[in-house]
Structure 1
Amino acid sequence: MMVVYENAMIAAAAETTQVADFVAKRQFAPMYIWLDIAFLLVFAGLLLWRRKTMTVLVGLAAGVLYFAVDYGIFNLALHTRSIEGGSMFWVLLWMSMSYGFTNFAWIWLWISKDSHLFEWSLLILGWWFCAPPIVQTLVARFAPDQADHPIIIQRTTGAYHGWMALILFVGYLALIIWNLAHERRSQRVNIPWLLAIGVLVQFGWELGLLIGGIRSAGLGLQETLKPLVVNSLLETNLGMPYVYVIFLAVTARYTETLSKRTHPITMLERLAENNAECVTH
């Protein structure tokens, strides 16, 4: 009886792991990489033109962090990555810098309530949705061999999504405790605003990949929808509490152009100041 019970427990654990795990897969022509790099240069150039120096540095730092996590942890440590038709190092370097830079530059513009947030958002979302059909047209016209030899890169998620969920829960728990401890509304963190940013930024990215035929190509409906839902709720969103604390600490002393504020303020004062700001267009 004990052996039967143990076998049943092992089978149940294996089934639970299988359900919790899913494959996040992308398939694209090599031309997609070069066009996306061109977009990144245009985006960074526009940010610098508008004197968004801090936003550019935040995006670059996030790209480096993405690469350290994706290549160092997901690939080398956990062995959850596999690739066909390309170099794991160079493809992950591009992917990390692309989405790390774009996502976190966009997040920084959101939480700083930039006056041109609509234009920045339209630029990013427009590229994510338009890039795949543009690439498909160019490949069919100028490089048909790339259609037959795409880059396919994928990862499984069961090895680390639990840790991601823990990071997300701890971060938002800290914000909840902070808000419960402060009666004045001006001193509370706008948690719904951070949640909206964390979910919608990842959702826009995932939806663009899905509609463009890049995300989950060749997989079934369940495996197609899981990355859209789970990643949107978890992956970028988990960093929002921590990013916001960094934002308050940095912008309490420095301006967007990296010059010191004439009158530096405390993080609590910066929180109240940020709460009083609004997105204008």
Structure 2
Amino acid sequence: MAEVIPSRVLNYLYMYLDCGFLLFLAVLLLVQKRRLAFITGVLAGLLYFAVDYGIFYKFLGTRTVQGMPAGPFLFWLSMSYGFTNFVWIWLWLDRDKRLFEWSLLIVAGWLTVALLSRSFGGPMGEIAISRGTNSYHGIMALLMFIGYAIVCIYNMNRKEGAPVIPVLWLLIIGILVQFSWEAVLLVTGIRSPGWRPLIVDSLIETNLGIPYMYFIHQAVTKRFSPDGRRLQKS
């Protein structure tokens, strides 16, 4: 089977606009008192960077970056999608009452940044990146299986009256978040044409972490409100 190789070609304007969008989203989260979502996004961005730069680029050598030093570029890239993805995931898990508005802002922000950079960023220089996946997609699939197996076995064996873990809800979150930004990259011409990265990445890459995020979310929200205040024990 041919390897799935996600690749992108973007320009420096894309990075600058995206940094502005990230700042806007971060300030809005703090103003709207969604501090837990903000903290989750920052921590996820740092985790993405540790994986993308430390494992994919340095250890496995599957990540390539042309047109800019890899370290600064991958830090921005990791914070960009790590922050937005996991802010969005956290708000989904919260079943936030303004989830539609948050979702619209995030997807519209991705689309606007991509299209503005395509229209006006050509003279600023291009950056080309790619990432081989054969060496780790199997491990990702295994982690996804373990996570969902834990969830399914819990539901099968839960005691009467115990809460049911919403497996379908978790699948929708895990697939839709990755699919949304993969689709934006594809339709705006930043991602190379092809359906396999869109489908395979959407099924595995963000989705693998959703069961674990569910348990983290459950543990944290028992102790803290969305604005970060510690809850009083009853």
TM-score by length of 1: 0.81
**Which residue among 18, 41, 52 is the counterpart of 2:34?**
52
Q: Does 1:77 align with 2:59?
A: yes
Matches within 5 A, 1:218-257: 224-257=194-227
d(CA) in 2 for partners of 1:255, 1:127: 27
Larger Rg: 1
Q: SS at 2:195's partner residue?
A: helix
* 1:68-105 Cα shifts (integer Å, max 9, x gaps): 00000011110001121111111110010000000000
Any gaps of 5 or more consecutive residues in structure 1?
1-18, 265-281
Distance of 1:249 and 1:106 partners within structure 2: 18
In the alignment, structure 1 residue 194 sits paired with structure 2 residue 170? yes
Tell me which of 218, 225, 230 is aligned to 1:260: 230
Amino acid at match of 1:78: L
Q: How does 1:6-21 map to 2 (within 5 A)?
A: 19=1, 21=3
Taking structure 2 as the reference length, the TM-score comes to 0.97
Give the deviation of 1:256 after TM superposition: 1.5
Alpha-carbon separation, structure 1, partners of 2:220 and 2:4: 37
Match of 1:272 in 2: none
Equivalent residue for 1:65, pick from 44, 47, 54: 47
1:97 to 79, 95, 98: 79
Higher relative contact order, chain-length normalized (CA < 8 Å, sep 6+): 2
- Once residues 203 and 96 of structure 1 are traced to their aligned partners in structure 2, the CA distance between those partners, rounded to angstroms, is 17
Q: Which deviations, in whole Å up to 9, do the C-alpha atoms of 1:170-226 show, x marking residues without a partner?
A: 00000010000015465110000000000000000100000111112xxxx5xx211
Structure 1 position 155, deviation (Å): 0.7
1:20 and 1:158 in contact (8 A); partners too: no
Report the count of equivalent residues. 234
1:156 aligns with 2:138: no
Aligned: 1:207 with 2:183? yes
Q: Map 1:18-29; keep pairs closer than 5 Å.
A: 19=1, 21-29=3-11
Equivalent pair of 1:30/1:151 in contact (CA under 8 Å): yes
Q: What are the ranges of 5 or more consecutive residues in structure 2 without an aligned counterpart?
A: none
Counterpart residue number, 1:145: 123
One-letter identity of the residue aligned with 1:76? K
Per-residue CA deviations over 1:82-133 (Å, capped at 9, x if unaligned) read 1211111111100100000000000000000011101000001111222222
Partner of 1:187, secondary structure, is coil
